[in-house]
Amino acid sequence: MTEKMVKLTIDDQEVEAPEGTLIVNAAKMIGNDIPVFCYHPKMEPVGMCRMCLVEIGRPVKDRQTGEWVREEDGSLQIQFGPKLETACTTPISEGMVVRGNSKKALAGRKDILEFLLTSHPLDCPICDKGGECPLQNLTMAFGPGQSRFLVDEKYHLGKHVPLGELIILDRERCIQCARCTRFQDEIVDDHVIGFFQRGRGLEIVTFSDPGFDSYFSGNTTDICPVGALTTIDFRFEARPWELMVGASICPHCPVGCNTSLNTRREARAQGDVVIKRVMPRQNEKVNEIWICDKGRFAYHFAQSGDRLVQPMVRRDGELIPTTWTDALNTAAEGFKASSTGPNAGKDVLAIGSGRLSNEDLYNLQRFSTGLGGRSVLYTSMGGGDLVAQVGVGQGTNFSDMGPGTTILVAACDLQEEAPIWFLRVKQAVDRGANLVVVNPRTTKLEKYASQVVRYAYGAEAQTILGMVNTLSAKRPDLGEAAPAASRDGRINEAAQSVSRAENLVIIYGSEGTGLESSQALAQACANLL
Ligand code: SF4
Ligand code: SF4
Ligand code: FES
């Protein structure tokens, strides 16, 4: 179905955008950034901060005839509302005229900023958000040059309030935009923080024990438009402008979230470059703009004193630090010894990682086969080879999954094993995708599933084969356990649910599985596909 397009004018520029687009987003299409605080493109608009106030004019219709009223020159007559309106909650309409830079709109913006700053501590010089703070930037761009409020008259609130082990709150910096609470409610579905009290005394509090108990809490510090929420890890560690930014990929789980490593040289690391923080890097096909707390905070191993930073050779049972030349010679002697004699090559096994470059893998393979041994790509083990053959192809995007897609999650606690996929599967279900969970114990994901199948640990492959059996004619090749499993009513229902999918995606995990059972599970999933 083609989208209906709507034409309007924003700050004297014509824009055409799909019906239903919010003014703030239509403006963005022509490079016009209407300032916002509470609006966030990943969440429902709430119109709480009023920073995006604009003048909006709409074409006038004659009430009696239903015809558009026209000016003498034939153009549509536009009537502007008496008050400013929020660009973040108002959808565009045909012929609309928006003024974001008029005297009235600019005065509105200035007033809102002055109002937000009445009780703001203005402690930018010691605020961790300083240098990358939307409130600071928008105050510089649109705010009043001077405050009419005395510091002593300001409403003071707690400045060092840990919400949990990872996140700290400065209560008087909060501008009550609710981005953090909406993120936890809408995106994560962990209702662990919320508003308490009213008016200027309103505060963010945590309801959970332990505090701010969520795997995704760090994201609230990215989207908080002020320095109210910051991470305890980065607190007072560096100023943003001192940091170098390098693109990276999170190494902690299969999602491979895109990240930016913020680094700088430090005296306490003897002048070495150290990671100061890990930030999400936008990739709409992988992690959108989010990362989990493991990806954000589990980087300190890079500076661990236990890290291997120089070659070592085991002599008389002891690992002895040595030079590269000595270490390489010792390794070469060991390989030479294994490649001669009656067992030549049998003791040589090279295990390669799928993260190596093709050139490195080629050299590794030449090296091991040259010695009469063999090499194994560990990412092909445990079913990895089948994933390469029948798994999702390049360009697969969670954002496209909705009605017609069924996602089967088997033997996997997705929030533990691949946290961002948990969010993405949940969002796909929110858009209308069907979710089937097959797991030996309860997981958080089940809440969103239409079908849940429970099995005894170790029976994951048989359970999936039971689904295959339900859907196909008698299959003697499916093994003995499959017919018994397929008699289970829940398996039948899950199988029927899967069979109705126009698009089936299977995520299999490692809940209670080892290498062999993982291979069997992957084979069963491949059969089902
Ligand atoms: S803590 Fe930050 S994100 Fe949360 S309501 Fe306050 S200003 Fe908004
Ligand atoms: S989900 Fe978390 S652990 Fe996995 S890649 Fe993303 S940030 Fe890293
Ligand atoms: S950004 Fe529109 S009201 Fe906050």
Q: What is the DSSP string of 342-359?
A: TTTTTT-EEEE-TTS-HH
Does 469 share its domain with 517?
yes
Max CA distance (Å), the chain: 103
Does 476 map to a domain? yes
Across 85-89, 306-310, 447-451, least confident range: 306-310
Does 414 map to a domain? yes
Does 86 share its domain with 122?
no
The boundaries of the domain holding residue 160 are 118-231
pLDDT band for 473, please (50, 70, 90 cuts).
low
Higher pLDDT, 341 or 140: 140
Does 399 share its domain with 519?
yes
Does 309 map to a domain? no
Pocket test of ligand 3: the residue of 22, 38, 115, 226 to mutate, having most ligand atoms within 8 Å of its CB, is 38
pLDDT band for 391, please (50, 70, 90 cuts).
confident
Q: What is the pLDDT of residue 288?
A: 97
- Ligand 3 centre distance from Cα of residue 114 (Å): 15
Asked whether residue 483 carries a pLDDT value surpassing 70, the answer given is no
Domain count, the chain: 4
Ligand nearest to the CA of 38: 3
Asked whether residue 502 carries a pLDDT value surpassing 90, the answer given is yes
pLDDT band for 477, please (50, 70, 90 cuts).
low
pLDDT band for 293, please (50, 70, 90 cuts).
very high
Does 416 map to a domain? yes
Mean pLDDT value across residues 460-488: 73
Higher pLDDT, 432 or 337: 432
Asked whether residue 378 carries a pLDDT value surpassing 90, the answer given is no
Asked whether residue 487 carries a pLDDT value surpassing 70, the answer given is no
Rounded-to-integer distance, Cα 205 and Cα 211, Å: 9
Q: Tens of pLDDT along 302-340?
A: 888 888 889 999 999 999 999 999 999 999 998 888 877
Mean pLDDT value across residues 142-164: 89
Rounded-to-integer distance, Cα 420 and Cα 321, Å: 40
Does 432 share its domain with 457?
yes
Does 365 map to a domain? no
Q: What is the pLDDT of residue 480?
A: 57
Q: Tens of pLDDT along 93-102?
A: 999 999 999 9
Q: Tens of pLDDT along 203-244?
A: 999 999 999 999 999 999 999 999 999 999 999 999 999 999
pLDDT band for 478, please (50, 70, 90 cuts).
low
Mean pLDDT value across residues 282-298: 97
Does 419 share its domain with 467?
yes
Pocket test of ligand 2: the residue of 214, 252, 278, 417 to mutate, having most ligand atoms within 8 Å of its CB, is 252
Does 131 share its domain with 107?
no
Q: Is beta strand 5-10 parallel, antiparallel or unpaired with respect to 97-99?
A: parallel
Q: What is the pLDDT of residue 474?
A: 57
ipTM above 0.90, yes or no: yes
Ligand nearest to the CA of 51: 3
Does 105 share its domain with 134?
no
Does 397 share its domain with 524?
yes
Higher pLDDT, 376 or 440: 440
Does 194 share its domain with 298?
no
Please identify, among 81, 112, 143, the residue that sits at the C-terminal boundary of a domain.
112
- Ligand 3 centre distance from Cα of residue 279 (Å): 25
Asked whether residue 151 carries a pLDDT value surpassing 90, the answer given is no
Please identify, among 231, 252, 283, the residue that sits at the C-terminal boundary of a domain.
231
Does 209 share its domain with 252?
no
Q: 467: domain CATH number?
A: 3.40.228.10
Indicate whether residue 438 lines ligand 3 (CB < 6 A): no
Please identify, among 97, 112, 127, the residue that sits at the C-terminal boundary of a domain.
112
Does 322 map to a domain? no
Does 187 share its domain with 256?
no
pLDDT over 70, % of the chain: 97
Query: DSSP string covering 308-345, please?
Result: --S-EEEETTEEEE--HHHHHHHHHHHHHHHTSSTTTT
Does 92 share its domain with 144?
no
Q: Which atom of ligand 1 lies closest to the CA of 193?
A: 4
Rounded-to-integer distance, Cα 145 and Cα 123, Å: 16
Nearest to 221 by CA among 286, 155, 282, 132: 132
**Radius of gyration from C-alpha coordinates of the chain:** 29
Across 199-208, 274-283, 408-417, least confident range: 199-208
φ/ψ of residue 328, rounded to 5: -70, -40
Asked whether residue 475 carries a pLDDT value surpassing 70, the answer given is no
Does 257 map to a domain? yes
Does 339 map to a domain? no
Q: 13: domain CATH number?
A: 3.10.20.740
Q: Write down the mean pLDDT value for the chain.
A: 93
